[in-house]
Structure 1
Amino acid sequence: MFAVQKGTLQPLSEKQIHALRAGDASVFEEVFRLHYDSLCRYAFSLLNRQAEAEDLVQQVFVTYWENREKTIISGSLKGYLFRSVHNRCLNSIKHDKVKAAYTDHSLFFETNYHLEVEENFQAEELKGKIDEVIENLPTECQRVFRMSRIDQLRHKEIAEKLSISVKTVENQIGKALKIMRTSLADYLVSIILILLGS
């Protein structure tokens, strides 16, 4: 397992490994920031769908975090994460879960503002930032995104209501997610930890 230290890869100490299993969010953040991009690139190489690839990688991290105490890893944590992403990608392809992945609320772009999370400054700041980013999306992009994420309409239903193609709907949602990923990049770890109740 590795952690980021002064711009180089350094092995995690036994103390850090123990702290990670015990629920140390700072060590989890180090591992997340180190491997997230490479895992997303790997998932994208298998799925060829950027939004789904990033959602899938986030789910892998969440699953690991929730089960960290009882998870037995043979080899490195990096290897475990890549195997988990690989298996999830194959499962997604096998069962044709592309549409489900778009309609399912991703942990990064959760727009259901009735989440029962602790009312604190961090959560309120994050909610306000998401609202702000959505409000500043291009008009058509914002309309499609709201219909998909908030109204929970399927791509075909959105296309019919707006008299556009399903491909256009997918492109607009992809555009919205790309803008949000860029705008909320600094909040990514916080989003996951908040939704996990950390």
Structure 2
Amino acid sequence: MQPTDQELIHAIRLGNEPAFEAVFRQHYAPLCQYARTFLHDWDDAEETVQAVFLAVWEKRDSLEITVSLKSYLFRSVHNRCLNRIRHLSVQSEHREQAAYEVEMYQSSAEAPMQTLIADELSDRLQVAIQRLPEQCRLIFSMSRFEEMKYQEIADQLGLSIKTVENQIGKALRILRTELADYLPTVLFFLFLN
């Protein structure tokens, strides 16, 4: 003859481990299945059910169950699942908020530095372009700022395409030399992000 719920509860209250183990074995798997319908993760479901059984055992001295043992256990798992869902939701919101704040901080911290670098580079580039020989500067400006093709520049200035190519190459070499001390800083900030 199987013991009644009240007999099992009384035995658990007295610290009877075999009675507790019998309840655990009987209800563990169905409770895990039930918890899984809320949590959608088997590990979370098992952890929740184990927490319910641990709480029952730890509070066995003051255990007051007025409904069936099965109903009590299912209600306890239900409540713990809802608490877990709320906890995960709050955790997720905090993670999202923290990620947003970090992103905003990085953006606000980087924006002035990037603007400063861009402004300084633009100024230095303009100075370097002004130092180019006149024909070299003209051809370079037509190519880069007016977006003209080499053939168009050659036709407009009455030069050969080879001369245009040589002048562009010369301009790039001079600019690389003029901006050489500045390029490592630019590259650092470009690859930092």
The structure in which a higher percent of residues are strand is 1
TM over 0.5: no
TM-score normalised by the chain length of structure 1:
0.42
TM-score normalised by the chain length of structure 2:
0.43
Relative CO higher for 1 or 2, CA cutoff 8 Å, sep ≥ 6? 1
Bigger Cα Rg? 2
